[in-house]
Structure 1
């Protein structure tokens, strides 16, 4: 069959259409492929940037936490840094939750990371300044402690000296009995000085005067005598005016007692003790007390 010009023209048009369709299809496919490739590249870039920013935020958060601890130990203000650290953690979490590429978020976080890094450098400078200040304060504190220790030592020395002086004054202010004399008194009231026989007396008399003492103040005192028998016992009878007194919590007995006001006049004192029975044979002691300390003593013998 002979091909007519019309058929030939239709074939040519058909071929042109087929070629055009193929070209258009290839172009569309190429565009789709290029769009897909671009989106994939963009997503890959986003994931890489997201990972980088996430790591940077984690690192900044860790470093910032170290600065917070250091500044806190040095006594600096950390309140605003704690708030900032919480904000960085929140931004990191927001970035991790974002699945699609977000150019605005990436750019914003990128700028913030740069600012955070600059902040870390500034906080390092602040820490260095705080350390220097603390070192200076510690040095000044050590100096103050040394001065305080020296002052305390001086005060302690002065107090010790004061105590020693007070003890010396207290010792110097103690009363002292002088010119002590002893007498026995017989049944007729006759006094005889010195030793005696047991049948000669039931009463004894002790006289003395208080020595002059310009340090001792005018004050009241209890003056007591102890008459001690040969066995070492204090002759004691409450009915005849005897009693007891305390020294450092320990009880002592006295034979007789008088209350006086010391006036530094070398005042004379006299004690008469009526035993009511004969004295035992042997050596006796008489100890004179003022309040809680001994001021004199003498002795006598009963034959």
Structure 2
């Protein structure tokens, strides 16, 4: 027998229960989907952030490699090969990180490769730093050797200069020097007899007599003597083909002869026949031996 006092019958009550269950199920589904979507968004944001971090890390590593090249070091074949491999890996990572979406697996692989690359750069930088120090030591050693070589070269040049000066002094000291130089004018008779004169019109030749000053350094041997004769106007009387060198320059001579020097107080004589007519005035002569001026003298002809 039904209860007439209950305004809601049993059928309506069941419908109400069913609606409540459906509402609860819908609410649960919406909550699940909301949470899932939130987690997915969070995961996507995390992946995106990690991609940016990895990309920045790769770019930093690339900059480090560029800095190594800016050092202008001569890298070994091993370091060049390692740098080439590293740049290849960087290119691969940059291409992978530019993809729109990375799976979790791809992200984990990229993270590992970046860590490996960072570890490689640590070792690579240590090797480059060691190479830089070695180069610095070699440069210092090279500079030191260069300085030593320059000092040795300068020292050798200085010694060579001093030796040249000493040789020049010895050579100068060993050169013969004339003493008691005297000039006599002669006319030559048809018989060949020489008669001393003082007049230019009668003179035909000049005879130069001289002694050699004692010199322990002078070589006791034959020495070439050169004579230069100047007329009263100061003109050299010489054959243009007669050349010799003395006092550091090449010059013409009027006559030459050889003497045997023995440091025995020998008096030497040297005759010169004028190819021209003598003129009134003072004639001067200069004697040379061993490349230096030996002595001078003058004679006045009326």
**What's 2:3 paired with?**
none
Separation in structure 1 between the aligned mates of residue 125 and residue 137 of structure 2, nearest angstrom: 18
**Structure 2 unmatched ranges of 5 or more:** 1-8
How is 1:268-287 mapped onto 2 (pairs within 5 angstroms)?
270-275=269-274, 278-287=277-286
8 Å contact 1:284–1:300 — kept in the other structure? yes
Report the RMSD for the aligned CA atoms in angstroms.
4.2
Give the deviation of 1:290 after TM superposition: 3.2
Q: Return 138-147 or 183-192, whichever deviates more.
A: 138-147
Q: Return 278-287 or 81-90, whichever deviates more.
A: 81-90
8 Å contact 1:205–1:271 — kept in the other structure? yes
**What's 2:46 paired with?**
45
8 Å contact 2:175–2:290 — kept in the other structure? no
Separation in structure 2 between the aligned mates of residue 276 and residue 141 of structure 1, nearest angstrom: 69
Separation in structure 1 between the aligned mates of residue 176 and residue 20 of structure 2, nearest angstrom: 144
Separation in structure 2 between the aligned mates of residue 23 and residue 237 of structure 1, nearest angstrom: 142
Give the deviation of 1:106 after TM superposition: 0.9
8 Å contact 1:212–1:264 — kept in the other structure? no
Separation in structure 1 between the aligned mates of residue 64 and residue 133 of structure 2, nearest angstrom: 21
8 Å contact 2:239–2:252 — kept in the other structure? no
Deviations along 1:168-222, one digit per CA (max 9) or x if unpaired, are 12212323334544333224244355x6122432222224465665645588765
Separation in structure 2 between the aligned mates of residue 251 and residue 162 of structure 1, nearest angstrom: 24
Shift of the 182–140 alpha-carbon distance from structure 1 to 2, 3 Å rule, reads same
Give the deviation of 1:226 after TM superposition: 1.9
Aligned residue among 232, 235, 246 for 2:234: 232
Deviations along 1:141-193, one digit per CA (max 9) or x if unpaired, are 55545544543443233223212211112212323334544333224244355
Q: Return 196-205 or 208-217, whichever deviates more.
A: 208-217
Give the deviation of 1:10 after TM superposition: 10
Shift of the 160–204 alpha-carbon distance from structure 1 to 2, 3 Å rule, reads closer
Provide the TM-score with structure 1 as the length reference. Answer: 0.71
**What's 1:177 paired with?**
178
8 Å contact 2:181–2:209 — kept in the other structure? yes
Give the deviation of 1:89 after TM superposition: 3.1
8 Å contact 1:184–1:191 — kept in the other structure? no
Separation in structure 1 between the aligned mates of residue 251 and residue 151 of structure 2, nearest angstrom: 46
Provide the TM-score with structure 2 as the length reference. Answer: 0.71
**What's 2:6 paired with?**
none
Count of aligned positions: 287
How is 1:159-198 mapped onto 2 (pairs within 5 angstroms)?
159-188=160-189, 189-192=192-195, 196-198=198-200
Q: Return 122-131 or 156-165, whichever deviates more.
A: 122-131
8 Å contact 2:232–2:283 — kept in the other structure? yes
8 Å contact 1:224–1:255 — kept in the other structure? yes
8 Å contact 1:214–1:264 — kept in the other structure? no
Say which SS state the counterpart of residue 119 (structure 2) adopts: helix
Say which SS state the counterpart of residue 279 (structure 1) adopts: coil
**What's 2:4 paired with?**
none
Say which SS state the counterpart of residue 184 (structure 1) adopts: strand
